[in-house]
A and B are shown apart, each in its own frame.
Chain A
């Protein structure tokens, strides 16, 4: 009778500092240029799941205008998108679809978990919940988490800027295996 439970990620007590592999040849300028270009051209996938999608639309609209940061080109095809913004609750039925969409996106790709639902289930989390995935990181690696229910548009912009910083520094996502 119990729904299939996903194994929760095991978190070590002491934070492990990842060993950064030093590339043999470092194309410093070229890499930096490419990273800067990537950071400034984050095309999100047109993909809304629930409430947060409306705020995502609001961010794309006149008052907040995500296009200022070069991130306003919402691409409906996963093949042409760079960043997946999880905007809303991820239901059990939706999980496989999201996995497939993520696999369809070309590398390098990033993801933003927008809102409480995609962080840990948010307001829909309760013991024995059967309908949702408690967090987007059960499915795909997440680069930036934005709290809120739904996060305000300013918060999403801050999240995008945080992702830009990360890309410019050449950091890989924390949750990236």
Chain B
């Protein structure tokens, strides 16, 4: 991968929504959202454009109408900074939502996906080694879920 080979990503038809964002305010250049089935294709498109996967995280947005949402950010070394964020809304039980793994495209996703499984209970299908990463193997909870381990609960 050299700077010259960096090409813009073609995401035609892969996204649900796509919008420019104000980098100075949000830190993102573009904000996309994709359906859970297409995230593998989206990742592949970014990989072909020589982007890197900066991080994957998950949000528990139960108080915000929607349920679980995965957040992928992509960036590139070559050329100007171009940080894209792709959000994927998940349906299904909490914990226990499912999403396809993009470990085959970006090996970096391996640990991020394990962390999300660990912390939110999202299962990634096709992940080679989906087990707990930060919490002990025998833990029976998903620590970052909104209804777990809240300070207010303990005080009341």
Q: Provide the residues of chain B in CB contact with A128, threshold 8 Å.
A: 149-151, 153-154
Q: Provide the residues of chain B in CB contact with A93, threshold 8 Å.
A: 134-136
The answer to whether A127 and B154 touch (CB under 8 A), given A1-B148, A93-B136, is yes
User: Closest Cβ of chain A: how far from B139's Cβ, in Å?
Assistant: 7
Q: Is the CB of B141 within 8 A of A126?
A: no
User: Closest Cβ of chain A: how far from B135's Cβ, in Å?
Assistant: 7
Contact residues of B: prevailing secondary structure: loop
The answer to whether A3 and B154 touch (CB under 8 A), given A93-B136, A129-B149, is no
Across the interface, B143 reaches (CB within 8 A) one of A126, A127, A131, namely: A131
User: Closest Cβ of chain A: how far from B120's Cβ, in Å?
Assistant: 14
Instruction: Using CB atoms, name the residue of chain B closest to A93.
Output: B136
Q: Is the CB of A126 within 8 A of B135?
A: no
Query: Which bracket fits the contact residues of B?
Result: 10 to 19
Complex Cα gap A2–B145 (Å): 12
Q: Is the CB of A1 within 8 A of B154?
A: no
Chain B CB within 8 A of A130 CB: yes
Q: Is the CB of B141 within 8 A of A2?
A: yes
Complex Cα gap A167–B132 (Å): 43
Complex Cα gap A131–B150 (Å): 13
Contact residues of A: prevailing secondary structure: loop
Complex Cα gap A154–B156 (Å): 41
Chain A CB within 8 A of B63 CB: no
Q: Provide the residues of chain B in CB contact with A130, threshold 8 Å.
A: 141, 143, 148-149
Interface string of B69-108 (1 = CB under 8 A from A): 0000000000000000000000000000000000000000
Chain B, range 99-152, C-beta contacts under 8 Å to A? 134-136, 139-141, 143, 148-151
Chain A CB within 8 A of B155 CB: yes
Complex Cα gap A129–B154 (Å): 10
Q: Provide the residues of chain A in CB contact with B153, threshold 8 Å.
A: 127-128
12 pairs, CB–CB < 8 Å, chain A vs chain B = A1-B148, A3-B139, A3-B141, A3-B149, A126-B151, A128-B150, A128-B151, A128-B153, A130-B141, A130-B143, A130-B148, A131-B143
- A3-B149, A128-B149, A128-B151 provided; 4 other pairs, C-beta below 8 A? A1-B141, A3-B139, A127-B154, A127-B155
Which residues of B line the A interface, CB within 8 A? Answer: 134-136, 139-141, 143, 148-151, 153-155
